Amino acid sequence: MPSRSLRDCPTRYGIEAATANTGLKYLNGEAGQAYLQDVEWAYRYAALNRRAMMDAVIVLMEEIFGVTTELSSLIECDHNHVRLEEHFGESYWVHRKGAVSAAKGKMGIIPGSMGTASFHVEGKGCELALRSSSHGAGRAMSRFEARKMIRVKKLHQEMKGIWFDHRLERQLCEETPSAYKNIHAVMRAQRELIRIVRKLRPILSYKGT
């Protein structure tokens, strides 16, 4: 919705979630302001949490492998946020859910699955896509479908040459690479949105329970 002061929106919409003629839900008034403040708090918390995990890994890499860190290569990327942006000459609150910013020159990360390639990318700033791109391959099966259809044997076949915790093999069936779309097809489909800078190959996958 345009940013023309959330508090100044017509009162007939009320302060709770309202429905536009497009069917989309939106917030305005005090409820909208409270929502935006909460989202900003959560966004900052998530960023600090990611940085804390990264710092812990940096220490271990230096202690165990003697590897120094090149912090200039840091990429900050998330796929759930609300930001005030200008598009087509007006200001809008853009909610990216399952999408990442692909503003011109902005670096991002687009993962495949735990057994397929991931990519470092640079945004091209495509305005028709609201300067956005996909946040990953996306699921081809729901978690329920994957648990029902994919067996442990198939998981091992698709993860050949990649380390994972075999104690979690049954739980990991829902994350089998074939439960996701073909990341290469996804990248081809959005070549007008991003430029591939680097292709990454998985050698280890660790997932909590």
Identify the DSSP state of 69: P
Angle at 147 (CA atoms; ends 119, 160), nearest 5 degrees: 50
- Residues whose CB falls within 8 Å of the CB of residue 50, separated by 6 or more in sequence, listed in order: none
Which residues are registered as beta bridge partners of 194?
A: 123
Element (H, E) at 18: strand 18-19
For tokens 């839900």, the residue is 25
Helix, strand, coil fractions of the chain, as percent rounded to 5: 40, 25, 35
135 is catalytic: yes
For tokens 């309202």, the residue is 18
Q: Which of 81, 95, 120, 135 is catalytic?
A: 135
Q: How far apart are CA 141 and CA 182, in angstroms?
A: 12
Q: How far apart are CA 30 and CA 36, in angstroms?
A: 10
Tell me the catalytic residues. Answer: 135
